[in-house]
A and B are shown apart, each in its own frame.
Chain A
Amino acid sequence: MSRIFDALARRRWLFIWPLLIVFVVPAIWAMFAMRTYSADTLVWIDSDTSIASALKMQGADINNPQDPIEAEADALKQLLQSRSFVTAVVDKTPLRSQMKSAKARSETITYVQENTKVDVVGPNSLKITFSGETPGQAVAVVKAITTNLVDWTEKAAVRQSDSTVRLFTEQVASYSSGLEKAQAAFQDYRRDHPETKKITFKDGAIEESHSSVSREVEAEYLRLRLALDAAQDLYDSSVAELGAARVLSSLHKERYVSGLHTLDDPAMPTTFDLGPMALFDFLALVAAAIIGGLAIAVAEASDKTVRGPGDIDALDLPVLGVLRAPEGTRGQA
């Protein structure tokens, strides 16, 4: 063990140099090349507004955590990481100028994806952070994210509401067609059988008939009349439902749009981060230890000099003494 410590002490520069090269050079590089500026914004989501549910309707695979706000965060993360969303964000930022080729476009999108972070900071609050190369870039991207998020949420709500209204509209159209057919069949039958004009009809039954009307004609008249009434009822109810759906749709849109708030605009960052410097420090130490240790081991193994009395003993020569050369006489014969 003492030999190891002795070798380490003597060849300390073999350890110090790798440490300097592996640690200081990356540190300087990190100081100038890896500085990042972070801008963030707080987004408030009303408790009765669920982006997650909207995303689920769009087919997103969202986990079902216990905490609803986590579901919102999960949904937002998925949204913010989607290429279509990020592309829309980049289009509103100066980063757009970098997307001159397909490769550059892909790299820019990946860069934004990797540097965007969504954190849950309260019961209904999410913090969206972007770390960019310049303060302006960071602010621009965060603003674009929030703007796109509001737009996207509104559009998602509109799509969801419109699909409901469309369903009822199609139903009304279908019932309207049925009603028209029933009316036409009933009027045609009465035109073909003028005697039926003397029949009075009330509450789904023939109240008064005349002898000139045969029982068969009377039965058919009754069937057509009831079908017409049923078609009319269906139409009337579907129109009422359509009206209600339209009202609810409007309310739904309003709730979504007003349920997502940007609490504060991103501020221009004045300080910068240096990334995971502690990790770099640790890795530098490990790398330097490995490189330095190997260098020392190689140097010791290749050392053919007399290292101590043991080497002299190996030559069958007694060692009479070990002298430390005094200052001023070193290197002298």
Chain B
Amino acid sequence: MMVRTADTEVVARPSVRAMGGQSDVAERTAAPPAPTIEAAENMPLPMSMVTDCQHITARILHDQRQHATIAVTSAMAGEGASTVAAGVALSVACAVDGTVGLVDADLGDPRVHELLGVPRSPGLREGIDGGRSATASEIHAYRTALPNLWVLPAGEHEARSVQILTSEAACAYLSRVRDGLDYLIIAAPPMLSSMEAEVVCRFAGQVLIVARTRATQRAHVRQALRMLDGVPVMGAVLTSG
């Protein structure tokens, strides 16, 4: 696995940097404190969102096996998919003992780094580029206030997000990220405004779709579901306000 957890050996030595920029692979060999929701209080993401996501998380975790990968997407931009993904990742991290990763795959309009207070780059884009061009396999994941939650931001803005995320290198890189985690939450791009969203969702294998009440067109949700034909959709989360 690429991202090592606190109580496992480092198999391949990824450069995992904790929030604050310190490289602490060695430090993380010690047992982390038990994750609590209060640890997320200093994050930019409002605590209310985290608590609201707890019952969603409970339903997600019900009958879920280990190593679950879930893509959180929406039909169009601006419907709250990144926020829900961050909230779900935080609440999952609070609910389980295993390691949880949150990957921002919305390279065109990333938000996760703002919501969780981590640098935007280096991140996914740089990781995919690095994996493509060299044998090095650095994963620029950031540790959060929750010791079992790692965040992989989107990286620098990339106009070629379609080519990047639909490449074999991206698939291989995300697979490596997933290998080191118990749960992986991917903030996917909107289904109808990006071609790579479908690829990301199919990679994840399970999809959570977000819709904003009084904003998202029902026809758009239907169209997004048609695009996800064959991919299990766990359900929908409605955002309002």
- Interface residues in chain A, defined as those with a beta carbon under 8 Å from any beta carbon in chain B: 10, 303-309, 311-312, 314-315, 317-333
Cβ-closest chain B residue relative to A318: B235
Question: Is B157 part of the binding interface, using a Cβ–Cβ cutoff of 8 Å?
Answer: no
Residues of B with C-beta under 8 A to A306: 211-218, 221, 238
Question: Is B87 part of the binding interface, using a Cβ–Cβ cutoff of 8 Å?
Answer: yes
Question: Is B230 part of the binding interface, using a Cβ–Cβ cutoff of 8 Å?
Answer: no
Rounded to whole angstroms, the CA-CA distance of A325 and B45 in the bound complex is 11
**Counting chain A CB atoms within 10 Å of each CB, which of B59, B235, B236 scores highest?**
B236
Question: Is B74 part of the binding interface, using a Cβ–Cβ cutoff of 8 Å?
Answer: yes
**A315 and B221 contact, Cβ closer than 8 Å, known pairs A323-B52, A323-B53, A329-B49:** yes
Q: Are B236 and A326 touching (Cβ within 8 A)? A: no
Residues of A with C-beta under 8 A to B233: 317
Stretch from B23-31, B33-41, B78-86, B162-170 forming part of the interface with A: B78-86
What are 17 A-B pairs with beta-carbon distances under 8 A? A304-B217, A305-B216, A305-B218, A306-B213, A306-B216, A306-B221, A309-B238, A320-B234, A321-B53, A321-B238, A323-B237, A324-B241, A325-B212, A327-B46, A329-B49, A330-B241, A333-B79
Q: Are A320 and B115 touching (Cβ within 8 A)? A: no
- Given B80, B215, B216, which contacts A323 in the complex, CB threshold below 8 Å? B80
4 additional A-B residue pairs with CB within 8 Å, beyond A304-B218, A312-B221, A323-B52: A306-B211, A320-B237, A323-B87, A325-B212
Q: Are A322 and B240 touching (Cβ within 8 A)? A: yes
- Given A318, A323, A332, which contacts B82 in the complex, CB threshold below 8 Å? A332
Residues of A with C-beta under 8 A to B239: 322-325
Cβ-closest chain A residue relative to B233: A317
Number of B positions contacting A (CB below 8 A): 49
Cβ-closest chain B residue relative to A333: B82
Q: How many A-B residue pairs have CB under 8 A?
A: 126
Q: Are A317 and B78 touching (Cβ within 8 A)? A: no
- Given A305, A307, A320, A325, which contacts B208 in the complex, CB threshold below 8 Å? A320
- Given B217, B218, B238, which contacts A322 in the complex, CB threshold below 8 Å? B238
Rounded to whole angstroms, the CA-CA distance of A327 and B241 in the bound complex is 9
Cβ-closest chain A residue relative to B240: A324
Residues of A with C-beta under 8 A to B78: 331-333
Question: Is B10 part of the binding interface, using a Cβ–Cβ cutoff of 8 Å?
Answer: no
Question: Is B219 part of the binding interface, using a Cβ–Cβ cutoff of 8 Å?
Answer: yes
**A319 and B236 contact, Cβ closer than 8 Å, known pairs A330-B241, A333-B74:** yes
Residues of A with C-beta under 8 A to B83: 325, 329, 332-333
Q: Are A305 and B215 touching (Cβ within 8 A)? A: yes
Rounded to whole angstroms, the CA-CA distance of A328 and B219 in the bound complex is 28
Question: Is B101 part of the binding interface, using a Cβ–Cβ cutoff of 8 Å?
Answer: no
Rounded to whole angstroms, the CA-CA distance of A318 and B219 in the bound complex is 17
Residues of A with C-beta under 8 A to B46: 326-329
Shortest Cβ distance from A311 into chain B, in angstroms? 6
Q: Are B217 and A305 touching (Cβ within 8 A)? A: yes
**A319 and B190 contact, Cβ closer than 8 Å, known pairs A306-B212, A332-B78, A332-B82:** no
Q: Are A323 and B218 touching (Cβ within 8 A)? A: no
Shortest Cβ distance from A171 into chain B, in angstroms? 98
Rounded to whole angstroms, the CA-CA distance of A256 and B238 in the bound complex is 89
Q: Are A307 and B56 touching (Cβ within 8 A)? A: no
Q: Are A308 and B238 touching (Cβ within 8 A)? A: yes
Residues of B with C-beta under 8 A to A315: 218, 221-222, 225, 236
Cβ-closest chain A residue relative to B238: A322
B 70-96 binary contact with A (CB < 8 Å = 1; else 0) = 000010011111111001000000000
- Given A303, A311, A312, A323, which contacts B84 in the complex, CB threshold below 8 Å? A323
Question: Is B48 part of the binding interface, using a Cβ–Cβ cutoff of 8 Å?
Answer: yes
Question: Is B68 part of the binding interface, using a Cβ–Cβ cutoff of 8 Å?
Answer: no
Interface positions, chain B 141-186, Cβ under 8 Å from A, are: none
Rounded to whole angstroms, the CA-CA distance of A309 and B214 in the bound complex is 11
Shortest Cβ distance from A326 into chain B, in angstroms? 4
Residues of B with C-beta under 8 A to A312: 211, 221, 236, 238
Cβ-closest chain A residue relative to B219: A304
